[in-house]
Amino acid sequence: MTSRAALPVALAGLALVHAGPAATWLPVVRRGLPGLAGAGHADHVALTFDDGPDPRSTPRFLDELGRLGCRATFFVLGEMLERHPELGRRIVAEGHEVGVHGWRHVNALITRPGGVASEMGRAADLVQAVTGVRPAWYRPPYGVLSAEALAAARLRGLRPVLWTVWGRDWTASASPASVLVTLLPGLRGGATVLLHDSDHTSAPGAWRSALGALPGVVARCRRMGLRVGPLRDHGVAGAGARAGTRAGGAPGRRLRSGTT
């Protein structure tokens, strides 16, 4: 094969290496990678929220979680946290966990080379500066990973994690009832639940469907004898013990998740 003929093959190979991790977006692939999907302890359900913090909606979620006696993991966007740092501080002050969702909600496969790593690092640094806690988790926008994203997360000490079940709460037609019905088949011990505390990248007002479903989700878990809480208490396979540590290395504020 001539060098000219080999070039398309080489480029195709590089593209496959870059985009290959994105296959984890598919449920059938995630089932084969339980650690990446967020599968955890058989008596625990991890509750996670994406796309905030948003002053129109995140405080309502925090109020409801407080009423329910639950803690959760909030995957924040850097651009949102930069605008509303007081909400980031409130999330941590109330015993919740903050993870990194990138700076902007952009698909890793269409981002310029180096862009994912740069924005991930920028967002992680902001989380630490605002909250005083080093983030432990990274969830890519749209759940789409790339080779660059995986390498950058490893360099930053961030654990990539997706979800085992979602509520499809981002659409204009979503309702509390539809979110709960969508979640129920996968709402079991070890599950990581994906919901959204903001409509920043969703249909306007879609967050109301997740908020309205939240009491039913927690009640259902508790009826099954399951604890509900953040990823740091979920026992995700292969996860390190650094979740929730202060910038100086000392343990951050830790509350028992799913207090019932």
List the structure tokens of 221.
Answer: 């878990």
Q: Alpha carbon of 32 to those of 24, 25, 37, 87, 104: distances in Å?
A: 9, 12, 9, 36, 29
| Contact between residue 67 and residue 32 where contact means Cβ atoms under 8 Å apart | no
Among 66, 9, 52, CA closest to 206:
52
Which of 96, 196, 200, 234 is the catalytic position?
196
Q: Is 50 a catalytic residue?
A: yes
Compute the residue count for the chain. 260
Which of 44, 50, 101, 233 is the catalytic position?
50
Q: Alpha carbon of 43 to those of 39, 199, 227, 259: distances in Å?
A: 11, 31, 6, 13
| Residue reference for tokens 């949102």 | 80
CA distance 54 to 39: 28
The catalytic residue positions are 50, 196
